[in-house]
């Protein structure tokens, strides 16, 4: 299976979404103190980077 730039960006987008969801879940369900807010904000940052990767598909 040959992977071009678009499929690499697509895989990176899905991995970033999965990790972002995991970080938000950790922040919401595992940590009840201030660390939970940090995990959730980093998860939202992962969503932002995944959005950029998705926007770059077809342009790179």
Rounded Cα distance, 40 and 12, in Å: 20
Number of Cβ atoms within 10 Å of the Cβ of 11: 12
Return the percentage of the chain with pLDDT > 70, whole number: 98
pTM reported for the whole predicted model: 0.84
Question: Residue-wise pLDDT tens for the chain (60 aa)?
Answer: 688 888 898 999 999 999 999 999 999 999 888 999 999 999 999 999 999 988 988 887
Q: Which residues contact 46 (CB under 8 A, 6 or more apart)?
A: 16, 17, 19, 20, 23
Mean pLDDT rounded to a whole number for the chain: 91
Alpha carbon distances (Å) from 49 to 5, 16, 27: 17, 7, 19
């Amino acid at each position: 299976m040959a992977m071009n730039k678009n499929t690499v960006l697509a895989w990176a987008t899905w991995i970033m979404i999965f990790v972002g969801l995991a970080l938000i879940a950790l922040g919401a369900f595992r940590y009840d103190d201030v660390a939970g807010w940090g995990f959730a904000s980093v998860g939202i940052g992962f969503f932002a980077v995944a959005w950029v990767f998705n926007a770059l598909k077809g342009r790179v």
